[in-house]
Amino acid sequence: MEEGRSSVHGSWASRWTFILAATGSAVGLGNIWKFPYIAGENGGGAFVLVYLLCVVLVGVPVMMAEVMLGRMGRASPVNAMKKITRQVGLHGFWNGIGWLGVVGGLLILSYYAVIAGWALYYVVEMASGRLQGATPAEAAGTFAALLADPGRLVFLQSAFLGLTLLVVVAGVSRGLGTAVRVMMPLLFALLVVLLGFAARQGDWQAGWDFLFSFRADHLTGAGVLTALGHSFFTLSLGMGAIMAYGAYMPERASITGTVLTIAVLDTLVALMAGMAIFPIVFASPGMSPDAGPSLLFQTLPVVFGNMPGGLLFGSLFFFLVTIAAWSSSISLLEPGVAWMIESWRVNRVVANLVLGALAWLLGLGTVFSFNWWSGATLAGGTFFDWIDFFTSSLLLPLTGLFIAVFVGWLMRPGTVFAAMGDDPRPLLRAWHWVLAWICPVAIFAIFAVGLYNKFH
């Protein structure tokens, strides 16, 4: 590729804008509740160390490859892969990497918008005072009533998708770039405020011990596989977002340093979220840190509703969750929008409306999975269960596996190293070796475990 080439969609104003955008894509609902919970349950500090090792050996190498492909192709994931396969003389089959990413991202957005809508709802519920003094039964009833009301869920889903389209329609610089320069500092500021609240009102020591005490005896083989899986999913790999964002990356920016910074920030958000949540959970009698998904929408409303200042800080917390989800959702929509603009010669408004409408229609299946269609299951799974399984356990690992094989085995090392920029060759050789030999085995393990858990 020629030096200085840029995407037809524009480029990030700076390397830091790209870092904020990619971190925004990576930081989502999983960082706020899932990572702290699985870390605490699988040995605390022992799990965190294993997780960090998995990030370094799996997440970071694949992310570097995905960014490199995006910057090399300077187009949407679909058209970037077409250009690269043609340039390096490989079979058109590998163009499928781009298609898998775009389709996976759109499918994930369809249900992500529904769940993010719940966070929007709880911002209002907290701020209104309706959860003041809520009992566990009342909080569970509030959440059950929300899920049972398809009209309200559709309204919330539509509102969240509208927020997403509002950013993406404005373009790379004015829309995505401006949004992440506001969202990500705001997210970190909210986390710091909530950490202060947790330190003052919660049991800080109990939260710290849960998340960071080195309990190696609690770390099982299943826990290691959990760390491996989360290290892959937490960085938004395999869903087209990172490749699309890489297309807008400045030519001379170091991919290695940039990706490592993103991984550190993503992990920092997860650990800060854990220390914002668990001290206040442990300070509330009868509340359990192992509540899983219900921790967010049933346990925490009770905790905040019964603490001095809890309604204000509870509102801030769910606003934080909304910001995290919003920064992720714009990255899920952008790859498809970029492809439509390039291939259909339409403007951003039309591309956003078409794909937004498609995601909205698909999302209705997730909405109805919690009410009207809750009894309509296939092999014990609702529509939502199956679309979540199809994306998380099939599409994303397959895309990551193909990226590792394509860059690690099929592209010439010289071409790859030239595309990576000016990083030291010994470092690039070590990365290329890990990508070729470690990542495919690890990602296949994630794929196999996902299938086993679903059908066993």
Instruction: List pLDDT tens digits, range 153-204.
Output: 999 999 999 999 999 999 888 899 999 999 999 999 999 999 999 999 999 9
User: Are the C-beta atoms of residues 245 and 14 closer than 8 Å to each other?
Assistant: no
Domains and CATH numbers, the chain: 15-455 (1.20.1740)
Closest CA to 436 of 4, 39, 64, 48: 64
Please, which pLDDT band fits residue 5 given cuts at 50, 70 and 90?
Answer: low
As a whole number, mean pLDDT of residues 433-451 equals 95
Query: For all residues of the chain together, what is the average pLDDT?
Result: 93
- pLDDT score recorded for residue 2: 40
As a whole number, mean pLDDT of residues 380-388 equals 92
pLDDT in tens, 261-303: 999 999 999 999 999 999 998 988 877 777 766 788 988 999 9
Please, which pLDDT band fits residue 7 given cuts at 50, 70 and 90?
Answer: confident
d(CA 420, CA 414): 10
Q: Is the predicted pLDDT of residue 3 greater than 70, yes or no?
A: no
- pLDDT score recorded for residue 157: 98
User: Are the C-beta atoms of residues 441 and 405 closer than 8 Å to each other?
Assistant: no
pLDDT in tens, 396-416: 999 999 999 999 999 999 999
Q: Is the predicted pLDDT of residue 122 greater than 50, yes or no?
A: yes
- pLDDT score recorded for residue 1: 37
d(CA 144, CA 438): 44
What are the distances in angstroms from CA 232 to CA 54, 62, 353? 8, 8, 30
Share of the chain above pLDDT 90, in %: 80
Lowest mean pLDDT across 7-21, 46-60, 255-269, 342-356: 7-21
Question: What angle separates helix 136-147 from helix 150-168, to the nearest 10 degrees?
Answer: 70
Lowest mean pLDDT across 2-11, 122-131, 297-306, 386-395: 2-11
Radius of gyration for the alpha carbons in the chain, expressed in angstroms and rounded: 21
- pLDDT score recorded for residue 4: 43
pLDDT in tens, 196-216: 999 999 999 999 999 999 989
Q: What is the dihedral of CA 319, 124, 234, 95, to 10 degrees?
A: -110
d(CA 248, CA 205): 43
